[in-house]
């Protein structure tokens, strides 16, 4: 867990600590802050070679609960507020099919495939209870919006990165990975139904979060960069992993204004 403080208009790292000694040296990824100090994440334990499962970490109590124990692999867990379901990308059929899966929070059954017509879902972010933004694996990868009521797909963009964020205003944020120029942060405006290029990302990072209003953090290699959501604002390093023994920093998840979960090595 990383603790930041605000100095002037910038963020500054003050401490980094291991949140939990469980499963160190093995696969731990894709943290999601659910509720009540609970972090969902995926892990592949050394004693389990069947695939990745979903775990829940209560970080104040330092306790861990295993949520799934399947012969398949689950990734990208999220808790859908108001629906009492836990969603994930479930990999089946010898790693050929990637499905958007829903488990009941009370674990009363084995869950169900939310979109049977799609078997190439890499990542996702719910816009509301009727719409979900999807990263579809392909050549090139595509960004689409799926409507659960109409069962229709709206194609938005392609050559996208793995990180998709939706805002309270239902806008969809993502990175387009241009092969010959700088990568760019883009936004699909839900109301206008238009795509806007927000700013250039010359450091070519895939994972980003919005820590504060009008601010963005981007992880690239072993650094975290900060900028404003302004096309003219440059980027500055707010965390250099080499000062903390980190060779890489990928996923980030906000707990509150000062505390963040980082996935790093």
> Which tens digit of pLDDT belongs to each residue from 38-48?
999 999 876 66
Is the alpha carbon torsion for 204, 209, 212, 214 positive or negative? positive
Per the structure, the count of domains in the chain is 1
Task: Give the domain range for residue 141.
Answer: 2-264
Residue 43 pLDDT: 92
Distance CA 252, CA 62 (A): 19
Residue 22 binned pLDDT confidence (cut-offs 50, 70, 90): low
- If DSSP codes are grouped into helix, strand and coil, which group holds residue 140? coil
CATH number of domain containing 240: 2.120.10.30
Residue-wise pLDDT tens digits, 227-260: 999 878 899 999 999 999 999 999 999 999 899 9
pLDDT tens-digit readout, 95-147: 889 999 999 988 888 999 999 999 999 999 999 999 999 999 999 999 999 99
Q: Which long-range contacts (CB under 8 A, 24 or more apart) does 98-103 make?
A: 98/122, 98/137, 100/124, 100/132, 100/134, 101/74, 103/67, 103/68
Tell whether the model's pLDDT for residue 16 goes beyond 80. Answer: yes
Q: Are 26 and 46 in contact (CB under 8 A)?
A: yes
Residue pair 33/39 in contact (Cβ under 8 Å)? The answer is yes
**Distant-in-sequence, close-in-space partners of 135: CB < 8 Å, separation ≥ 6:** 121, 122, 123, 124, 141, 142, 143, 160, 162, 164
């Amino acid at each position: 867990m990383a603790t930041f403080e605000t100095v002037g208009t910038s963020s500054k790292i003050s401490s980094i600590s291991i949140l939990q000694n469980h499963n160190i040296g093995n696969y731990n990824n894709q943290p999601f802050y659910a509720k009540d100090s609970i972090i969902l994440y995926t892990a592949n334990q050394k004693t389990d070679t069947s695939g990745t499962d979903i775990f829940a970490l209560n970080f104040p109590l330092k306790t861990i609960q295993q949520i799934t124990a399947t012969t398949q692999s689950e990734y990208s867990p999220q808790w859908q507020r108001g629906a009492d379901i836990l969603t994930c990308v479930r990999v089946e059929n010898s790693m050929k099919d990637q499905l958007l899966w829903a488990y009941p929070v009370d674990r009363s059954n084995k869950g169900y495939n939310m979109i049977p017509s799609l078997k190439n879902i890499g990542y996702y972010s719910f816009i509301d209870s009727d719409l979900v933004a999807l990263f579809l694996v392909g050549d090139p990868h595509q960004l689409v919006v799926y409507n659960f009521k109409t069962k229709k797909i709206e194609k938005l963009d392609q050559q996208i990165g793995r990180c998709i964020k939706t805002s309270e205003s239902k806008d969809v944020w993502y990175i387009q990975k241009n092969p010959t120029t700088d990568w760019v942060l883009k936004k699909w405006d839900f109301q206008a139904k238009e795509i806007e290029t927000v700013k250039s990302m010359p450091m070519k990072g895939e994972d980003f979060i919005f820590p504060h209003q009008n601010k963005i953090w981007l992880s690239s290699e072993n650094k975290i960069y900060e900028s404003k959501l302004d096309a003219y604002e440059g980027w500055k390093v707010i965390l250099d992993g080499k000062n903390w023994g980190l060779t890489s920093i990928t996923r980030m998840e906000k707990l509150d204004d000062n505390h963040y979960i980082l996935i790093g090595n």
